[in-house]
Amino acid sequence: MKSAVIVFPGSNREPDAARAIRLAGGDDPVMVWHTETELPAVDLVMVPGGFAHGDYLRAGAIAARSPIMRAVADHAGRGGYVLGVCNGFQVLTEARLLPGALMRNAGLTFVCRPVRLKVEQTTAFTTQYQRGTVVTYPTAHHDGNYRADDETIARLEGEGRVVLRYVDNPNGSANDIAGILNDGGNVLGMMPHPENAVEPLLGSTDGLPLFQSIVTSAEAGEATPPRRPLLDRLINRNVPPGA
């Protein structure tokens, strides 16, 4: 699997992201600076954690308007995989590649500890997990409180796009949401750090299957996502009974 990791001024998890991708069997990722306007031909674009542009204005706001983000949006529009973790998730919501927003943690404190998460859905990003499995990833964020209007939350839930859910909500996120998918099923954002749970020395290997899932999906050529819930629903509605 070929991948790119986007680097902004203030990113700090890009080496961890690259290491996780390599450990999962992906090729060495290309590190792409935020001022670039084009991406190399890749299966996965990862937007890593950190504090891009110092989180000034709003977390991820300035990074989301970087020149490279237009290329990331084009990649996503073609069905390419995009994974945003922590600050990367904030960047993807600010770039409107994912719905909703990440607000200040409800408890106002920076949350920096391992959290348990339930893998709610089988997606291109989670094929290597049994649905319903509880995994432990580290978290490290101040603005991880996922918020969206009621209609958006209902749509995410109804379409099976809440991929990861906190077992013990650390930040006040609506519906305990920790990670969501776009409507195409090819863009995933999450606050916890799977890339920091990929080898025993780190205390958990629970994050490795996530990267292995992406490698497997990319190598199976699933450039377009496997599930299209809205379309499926429309098609099913038009099927006469007994047909």
The residue within the footprint of other proteins, chosen from 2, 116, 147, 227 (CB under 8 A), is 147
Q: How far apart are CA 125 and CA 227, in angstroms?
A: 12
Tell me: does residue 57 bind other proteins (CB under 8 A): yes
Task: Name which of 135, 237, 141, 119 is nearest 188 in CA terms.
Answer: 119
The residue within the footprint of other proteins, chosen from 61, 73, 202, 223 (CB under 8 A), is 61
Q: Based on the number of CB atoms within 10 Å of its own CB, is 227 exposed (0-12), middle (13-18) or buried (19 or more)? A: middle
| Cβ atoms 206, 137 nearer than 8 A | yes
Q: Which is nearer to other proteins, 42 or 63 (CB)?
A: 63
Q: Which is nearer to other proteins, 127 or 152 (CB)?
A: 152
The residue within the footprint of other proteins, chosen from 29, 84, 88, 100 (CB under 8 A), is 100
Decide if 157 is catalytic: no
Which residues contact residue 10 at a Cβ distance below 8 angstroms, ignoring those fewer than 6 apart?
50, 51, 52, 53, 54, 55
| Cβ atoms 115, 204 nearer than 8 A | no
The residue within the footprint of other proteins, chosen from 30, 73, 103, 202 (CB under 8 A), is 103
| Residue 117 identity (one-letter amino acid) | L
Decide if 34 is catalytic: no
Tell me: does residue 105 bind other proteins (CB under 8 A): yes
Catalytic residue, candidates 94, 120, 159, 195: 195
Kindly indicate which of the ranges 24-32, 105-113, 190-198, 235-243 contains the residues binding other proteins, using the contact rule CB under 8 A.
105-113
**Cβ at position 76, least distance to other proteins in Å:** 18
Tell me: does residue 5 bind other proteins (CB under 8 A): no
Q: Which is nearer to other proteins, 121 or 171 (CB)?
A: 171
| Residue 205 identity (one-letter amino acid) | T
What's the chain's length in residues? Answer: 243
Q: Based on the number of CB atoms within 10 Å of its own CB, is 108 exposed (0-12), middle (13-18) or buried (19 or more)? A: exposed
| Cβ atoms 84, 78 nearer than 8 A | no
Q: Which is nearer to other proteins, 19 or 58 (CB)?
A: 58
Total binding residues for other proteins by CB under 8 A?
Answer: 20
**Cβ at position 197, least distance to other proteins in Å:** 27
| Cβ atoms 66, 35 nearer than 8 A | yes
**Cβ at position 190, least distance to other proteins in Å:** 18
| Cβ atoms 214, 24 nearer than 8 A | yes
Active site residue ranges: 86, 193, 195
Binding residues (CB under 8 A) for other proteins: these are 57-58, 61-62, 65, 93-94, 99-101, 103-108, 145, 147-148, 172
